[in-house]
A and B are shown apart, each in its own frame.
Chain A
């Protein structure tokens, strides 16, 4: 990938995530952070993808990154983590391969359809596991903190 291509990918990832956050009625500074999250997560994914064979594992790590970003930003900006998690991972959502899967299924190319279907599945499962791991670790932290820290007041 050339530098120019990389630039366009990251810029368009920002724009796409930013647009998504607008549709979710995110406002103000959080909009930019949401867009930034989408861009950073995609950058991290490209890095992972370059060093890994498995699509599933690359997506898993990128989703871990996106989830972590979302949880940290949620704490800094006092907002639910979902606000940043969804725009962060949206760039990885396999919309393209889903389209090719169904196009080939309709066109009767069973082999191509199952190949794209496998890709779609790998990516989706990778994202799901990555996000879920971050969510459960942070949930555990919250529970522990509530248990061992006396309430301020």
Chain B
């Protein structure tokens, strides 16, 4: 059966989209798409990816130029998936499998389990507790931060999150967590309110997004870099603001 470049490009875009959604840098996504396409012997590939959109044109021969686009949505970092997608992309470049095989392998990766709720809570608690001690808290502070991490992660897992303005939702989460920290502190759990708060901030701050944004920016993907940087700085600011406002409004009596 002759190779359908339409279906091939569709399958390759599936992989690129999934890579981006798992938290890959833009240059990695574009590079993988280009190499996968070139492996199938097309004459020319033009791919352009920014945070929200992916656009790829294949020039197969004089009469055939195929273009497809994708609208890209929210990223949820998943390194296991990214790892597998990377392997798949290498495999495709080396073996040029038929489109059906690409689709089958892609579906296998998409069906991998996401990070379970339990592990989300475990990761959140370890991060918040770790950073609370890191910023000068003692073990009671770490316990308080752990309880707050459970609050943060359960708010992050609420389905209503998708219906709300993401920035405002983060701000609200931070504000509630700040209040929670004050309540625990006034009940006598924890001695260093600052350390507890900063531990929770480190948990919620978009660390990977900022790292990737800077990488994009300095590797020449200026659009993506700037928009990601803008987005993540706003988020980081919103989060810190939520905590700070909660403490300022309600905590001045007990906050030295």
Contact = CB atoms under 8 A, between A and B. Distances in A.
Interface of A: 8-9, 11-27, 30, 79-80, 82-83, 85-86, 89-91, 93, 95-96, 98-99, 101-103, 105-107, 124, 127-128, 131-132, 135-136, 139, 153
B28 A99 contact: no
Contacts of A99: 194, 197-198, 201, 240, 243-244
Interface of B: 23-25, 28, 77-83, 86, 94, 114-115, 119-120, 122-135, 194, 197-198, 201-203, 205, 207-208, 210-212, 214-215, 217-219, 236-237, 240-241, 243-245, 247-248
17 contacts: A14-B130, A15-B130, A17-B130, A23-B77, A24-B77, A79-B83, A80-B79, A82-B82, A83-B79, A83-B82, A85-B211, A89-B207, A95-B131, A103-B248, A127-B214, A136-B218, A153-B94
A128 B218 contact: yes
B118 to A, nearest CB: 11
A82 B212 contact: yes
Contact of B79 (A14, A25, A95): A25
Contact of B131 (A16, A24, A25, A124): A16
Nearest to B202: A95
Contact of B247 (A13, A21, A103, A139): A103
The interface centre, meaning the residue of B125, B210, B219, B240 with most chain A CB atoms within 10 A of its CB, is B240
A110 B133 CA distance: 29
A4 B123 CA distance: 26
Contacts, number: 159
Given A12-B133, A13-B130, A80-B24, A22 B119 contact: yes
A18 B134 CA distance: 13
Given A106-B244, A106-B245, A139-B219, A12 B79 contact: no
Contacts of B86: 80
A90 B210 CA distance: 10
Contacts of A13: 130, 134
Given A82-B24, A86-B207, A19 B127 contact: yes
A127 B126 CA distance: 23
Contacts of A19: 122-130, 203
A86 to B, nearest CB: 4
